[in-house]
Copies of this chain bind each other. A is one copy, B any other.
Amino acid sequence: MIDIGIIGGSGYTGGELIRLLLQHPKVRIRTVTSRRLAGIPVTDVHRHLTGLTDLDFATPDPSIASACEVVFTAVPHGAAMNIVPELLAGGTCVIDLSADYRLPQQVFEDTYKRQHTDPRDGGAVFGLPELHPEVAEANLVANPGCYPTGAILSAAPLASEGSIEYAIFDSKSGVSGAGVDPSTTSHYPNIAENVRAYNITAHRHLPEIVQELNRLDRSLNNIYLTPHVVPAIRGILTTAHLILNREQDYDTALGLYTEFYKDKPFVRVRDKIPTLSDVRGSNFCDIGIACGGRRVVAVSAIDNLVKGASGQAVQNMNRMFGLPETAGLLTPPLSP
């Protein structure tokens, strides 16, 4: 059994890590920390897990590095960089769910408007395992953002061919993406029966998308992201409006996507357009496409808390520890 620790266990990604790891046949959760809730049973916060775990929240403690083979850091952006160096120095592997290690220092600082205190450009692997098999050798994985996961996977096959001229990602996210703390945006009367576009031209997840698509096609310049919040708890549906430099027929495109993801157990390329309920609660990314002239519309559906966060983190862990990629992660989606 692999001993694991979770730093920052009181939020949604922390709760999902616990939910998923409780079902994992090869791990043992040693500690879940929360500075604010230390001493409180985990199930006082994550009530749905009552009876499934006896853990109390612990105070974060340097000894976690020696007690755990891998530590998940599920803390706010800017906080991880203060924790990770010590963890790595202590000899444990780290999978960081914050944004702190996803981008080169300069891009990070421009995007998040703060100084990076632990720049290690090239020292962390971007944890999108479908495109980064090198996570298997990493000791620090930067788990991608939720929007980038759905957006990058929807466009990668065509980007890798160098055929995209414009990539316009119109994303529709569930409200849980904004976290566990109440806010005006998450106030039920403000989002029920509603759709809200925000950070229309400058969402801070855009640089991750640009970085990864440019790894596949260095000449792809026109990459845009417009996120929306929709009345759903979980899920991101990304509608990728891709304008190509050539005509594209459907069968060829479907073949391209199918081939590109043929050994990727969590990407299900389908001849139907996916919806959020196809993947709810699961680590799948479902993709369907439509074609017309030089235009391809690729639609991807993920659960933002699973493939967009904690499930992907477990998938990375599986790769890092030589386990089957799907270990503990094949729980079927919950539909309807």
A residues whose Cβ falls under 8 Å from a Cβ of B: 12, 15, 19, 22-23, 46-52, 166, 168, 170, 172, 174-176, 180-184, 186-198, 200-202, 222, 224, 226, 228, 230-235, 237, 239, 241, 243, 265, 268, 270, 272-282, 284, 286, 290-292, 295, 297, 299, 330-336
Contact = CB atoms under 8 A, between A and B. Distances in A.
A110 B62 CA distance: 51
A195 B224 contact: no
A7 to B, nearest CB: 21
Nearest to A281: B334
A215 to B, nearest CB: 22
Contacts of A332: 19, 22-23, 48-49, 52
Given A48-B333, A277-B190, A226 B241 contact: yes
Contacts of A278: 47-48, 50
Given A192-B192, A193-B277, 6 more contacts: A189-B233, A192-B233, A193-B193, A194-B276, A230-B230, A331-B331
Contact of A202 (B234, B292, B330): B292
Given A48-B279, A200-B290, A175 B194 contact: no
Top 3 A-B pairs ranked by shortest CB distance? A189-B336, A201-B292, A48-B333
A234 B181 CA distance: 23
A149 B230 CA distance: 21
Contacts of A224: 241, 292, 295
A195 B12 contact: no
A297 B12 CA distance: 31
B280 A241 contact: no
A51 B268 contact: yes
